Each structure stands twice: as structure tokens, then as C-alpha cells.
Structure 1
């Protein structure tokens, strides 16, 4: 981009508390079976050494939450999700437990989520570092899972008790302000927050492209809509990385020059560009495919200009 300087994160290394992620604890003999019937992912077959993305959808196939599931024991799941949607998610899921031997609760007061980045984290993890994307290993009194690299930088999430988290934070240098959130946006992995609940079918935010939907499993809320979008090729919207010289926020509408009278898309998640002094921001934006090559603005047809960035994975050539 000519008017926004994007940082090179390859020199970044250290740790930060990911305060906007919370943890739903699902436990009990029927926890896996219950979650399997509610989420877009195969929860029955999830092993302890693999984290899995999953969506919780409405009956209309719209995402009510995006989740990253860790299974530390056969009868225990940690579901990492946006803190804004966590209380409603626990309440809604709990309504459907009925006679199942499963219990859901907010474990955010017991478990911390830390983001680890770069060479400093690699050195600290040592031989215990999970090397394969989404792989999980016990480390430092908690569990650490490998995320996809972003712009050549390795990333992990660590989940564990507060007192153990304090030790991890002491052992590693702090990340630059805003570094983790910006890398999260640049990863192209959507996070559903309070302002984007019930807005997107998984394919509209590329969720099936990054492993968040299992099309071979049985039914779950919204499954028919999600499957129909996949097999009938009805996906006409996708998520793209966009940059702006002005702040962006989740739920903000995006407009296209070819049809300025109605929104062409919506900001899914966003973050300020680290080190920028002019309010520059990056965002993952759900957008009509027909608008992807048009001039785009944020907030209104007269809003700040948006410039297309790069996703770290390839979109299908045609839907």
C-alpha cells in the first residue's frame, strides 16, 4: 500500500494476555456427544493432541459463535471464544443439555489465554513446541497449541491456570502493543463478536476453508443451510483482508462504488496497525464477490477508502 506502512512482524517475539478470549468449560461423560450434536465440527473424534475450529450456528445456518476447541481429557473440552458472546453461548447451549451428562460453564475466571509469538516463544517452548498447525501439547502447567503462521511469524496459544500463566508472562518478553490482535486479523481466521452474531453463514467468512466445518458429520443446528451453501455453490460472499487509513470496527458496513446505495459487506474483526500514528487499521471483511474488485469505503459511500490486502490462504476460484 502506498499510504499505509504495514509493520514487518518477523522481529516480534514474546507473550501477551489475550484478554478478549474467554474459555467455556464443557465437562461430563456426554460432553463430546452433546457438543458433536451442536457444533459444525467432529467433536467425538477430536484427540487430545489436536485443537479444532468449530462454529455454533442458528437454525438458519448463521454463526452465533466461532470456537477453538481443546480436549485436555476425554470428558473435558475448553472452548475458546470471544468474551462478548461467551455468556450468551453458555446460556443457550445449556438449554439443550437436557438429560445429557454434560455441564457448561464460564471458566475464564480459572483459565488464562496467552498469545505467544516468534523466536522468543520458540526458544521458550523448546522441544515441547507443537510444530504442526492445530497440534496441542502440555507445557508450562497448561496446554499450548500451534496456530497458523502469519507473515512468516510462528504463533501459539497457551491455556492454563492463572498462577501458571503468571509464570509464562514472567519468562517471556512482552509483545509490542497491539501486535497480537493485528496478527490475528491478518491470519484470516474470523472471530464472531457481539456486533457480528447471527450475520454470517460459515462460508461467507471462509470458515470451511480453514477447517471449521466437517461436512461428513451428522446433524447440528443450521447444518442443512451450511451443506446447501457448500454443495450447490451458492456462496457469493467471502472474507478478505482490507486496510484503511481510518479506524475500523466489527459490524461496520462496507460500501462499493458500483452500488453505493446499499452495503457490500461488513467488518468481521479489526485491529489498529501497530505503530501507526494516523489511525490506520486492518480488518477481515465479509464482502460480495462482485464487489471485491471495486473501490471500497468504510461506514458509508463517502467513508474512508479501503485497500485490498492479502489472505494467507487461497480462496476458491469460483463458488
Structure 2
């Protein structure tokens, strides 16, 4: 995190701890809320061959990305397993990948492998660009769109009609934050609430623990517009396409909840307590505590989506209950 941005947030009564920011006296209520997002970062890809490079490495159709259209996407390994998921946006001739901070360096190195003699520059912009999340109950937006106003980039999430990400430099972020709080009626909110909203609405972020574990369809990317089946080849495309055309996705992402004081770690094992030998039937993708317990994104075998006796391995007392997604 940029030191000037961190200092500014501390002056706003923030507590900054690694990739988590909380505010003294903040409540998760109000029809307009603004969030700092230190757990997300921006990777910039520029150069005359940038689109060609990305088209050969990501699941969405890069030719459809413009200043008005963004997309969820994944970058896969040759076996079709998603290394990372990200939001792909564009400003002028620069592509911007918004992704978890912990996977930025992995994605950068992987893309760099394919640059060779191409005219492409890949830059970690996490110290130059800030990410802010905005929630507006009364201002619905069109998912998978974006816009640029006064040099600020707004990206509307594929899973929400009420939330958007804004990308800007540090000076702009401080001015924008002050304007939204002092004059536009926004309330400060912590980054964990944004993570919670991502989970309950089905935003399939990966972590170091879940990278290269799942094909994109298991993460619902096909349902969220994050896979093009009409574009040319890209790394992992053969597996992704075969799964699609044969209709053989064996696992899917679902929302669940449990009454646990401990937040399950990504890639924790989910078992069927009633199954033979209490067999493994899935994994935890993400989890976040809330006032009523814990919400989880889980990747389960499709045959187990009606199972009503799920447990975490090592915690047989806590039941995991599947619930519908809550698209905000």
C-alpha cells in the first residue's frame, strides 16, 4: 500500500493491519458506503502487442474490452486450472487487471514468460494506483461495464448492480474520498465488509491456497460472462472448451453458512458426514465472518448440491448449510 495513502487513512481513524482496514465507529449500514480495498491490487499491461498477449492467456475475449466494457476473467495453466481470477478493464491503451494482492506477482511472472520480443510492458501499479469500493443502494449500475470520468476509472462488478470499483492515483483517491464523505453522503466502511459482500454475491476470487485448483467453470466464470467460447486459443483453452461442450463440469461454486467462531481457511476440506467414510466432497474457496456467523464460498461436487449434512474436516460439530446467493 502506498505510504501516503496509508497515512491519509490513518488520519481518517483507520486501523491498518496487513490487507485489512477498519474504522473506529464505522457501521455496516447506510445506503451509500465507501471502502478502501488493500487486499486488491492493479497490474498494468501496455504496449502495441498488449491485447494480443492477453488474448492468448485469459479466458475472456480481450477484443471486447474497452473503456465502456470490462469483464471477469481467469488466467489458466496448461491443464486448464485457474491461476488467478481478475477484473479486466481498459484505459486508453492500457489494460488494467484488478486481482488479489497476494497473486499479483504470480500473474505478473506468468505473463512475463510469454512476452518474448513482443512490445509489451507489465507493471505492478499497486503503489501508484488505489482501489476504492463504492456501494449505492439507490443507484443501480449495469454489471460488466465501466466508465472513465475526470481520469477516474469505475468498474461495475459482474455479480452486483449496487457496487463498483474505482481506480485512481493516490492524490485523486484522497480528494475523491474526502468529497464522497463530506459532500456526497457516503459512510466509511471496512475492507472485511467488502470481502463479505463479494462472497455472498458469488465473486470467485482465488488465493495462494486455491490457485491452480479449479477450472474456470467450477468458479462459475461461464455464468458470470468470464469465458468466451468463440475466441481463439489461449493457455488451458482445450480443457475449458472440452468441459463446456461435453457438459461435464463435476464441481460448482455454491454459497454456504456456518455458525463457527473460526473462519475456515481457503482450500479447507468439506466432507459429507453421512457419506461412506465421511468422504471429501469439496473445498472452501473463501470465507468471511459476519454478525450471524460465517459465510463461505464452497466448491462442491455437483451431485452433492442438495446435501444437508456438510461439515469441515476436523470440525464435525459445525454444520455447513447451503444458501442462495444474495446478489446486491
- TM class by shorter chain equals 0.7 to 0.9
Q: What TM-score, normalized by structure 2, do the two folds share?
A: 0.83
Match status 1:82 vs 2:92: no
Q: Partners of 2:66 and 2:106 in 1: how far apart?
A: 27
1:136-285 → structure 2 map (5 Å cutoff): 136-139=146-149, 141-148=151-158, 154-170=162-178, 171-172=180-181, 173-175=187-189, 178-246=192-260, 247-257=263-273, 258-273=275-290, 275-276=291-292, 280-285=293-298
Q: Partners of 1:20 and 1:193 in 2: how far apart?
A: 11
Q: Among residues 18, 42, 50, which one is paired with 1:31 in the alignment? A: 50
RMSD: 2.1
Question: Secondary structure in 2 aligned to 1:178?
Answer: helix
Q: Among residues 269, 289, 306, which one is paired with 2:302 in the alignment? A: 289
User: Which deviates the most, 94-103 or 161-170?
Assistant: 161-170
Q: Partners of 1:24 and 1:259 in 2: how far apart?
A: 46
Deviations 1:78-105 (A, max 9, x none): 1011111111110111011011111112
Q: Partners of 1:166 and 1:187 in 2: how far apart?
A: 28
Q: Among residues 45, 66, 74, which one is paired with 1:55 in the alignment? A: 74
Deviations 1:276-309 (A, max 9, x none): 4xxx210111001122222101233625210111
Change (3 A) 1:260 1:83: farther
Question: 2:124 is matched with which residue?
Answer: 106
Q: CA deviation at 1:39?
A: 0.6
Q: Partners of 1:142 and 1:296 in 2: how far apart?
A: 44
Q: Partners of 2:175 and 2:276 in 1: how far apart?
A: 53
Contact 2:36 2:191 in 1 (8 A): no
Contact 2:72 2:158 in 1 (8 A): no
Q: CA deviation at 1:203?
A: 0.9
Q: Partners of 1:259 and 1:31 in 2: how far apart?
A: 51
Q: Partners of 1:106 and 1:78 in 2: how far apart?
A: 10
- The runs of 5 or more residues in structure 1 that have no matched partner are 1-8, 123-129, 314-319
Q: CA deviation at 1:12?
A: 4.5
Change (3 A) 1:309 1:191: same
- The runs of 5 or more residues in structure 2 that have no matched partner are 1-27, 182-186
Q: Partners of 1:87 and 1:300 in 2: how far apart?
A: 32
Question: Secondary structure in 2 aligned to 1:265?
Answer: strand
Q: Partners of 2:230 and 2:29 in 1: how far apart?
A: 38
Q: CA deviation at 1:138?
A: 1.6
User: Which deviates the most, 64-73 or 299-308?
Assistant: 299-308
Deviations 1:171-200 (A, max 9, x none): 232025632111000111200110101100
Q: Partners of 2:64 and 2:136 in 1: how far apart?
A: 31
Q: CA deviation at 1:157?
A: 0.6
Change (3 A) 1:240 1:189: same
Question: Secondary structure in 1 aligned to 2:198?
Answer: helix
Deviations 1:35-67 (A, max 9, x none): 001111111232211111111001000000101
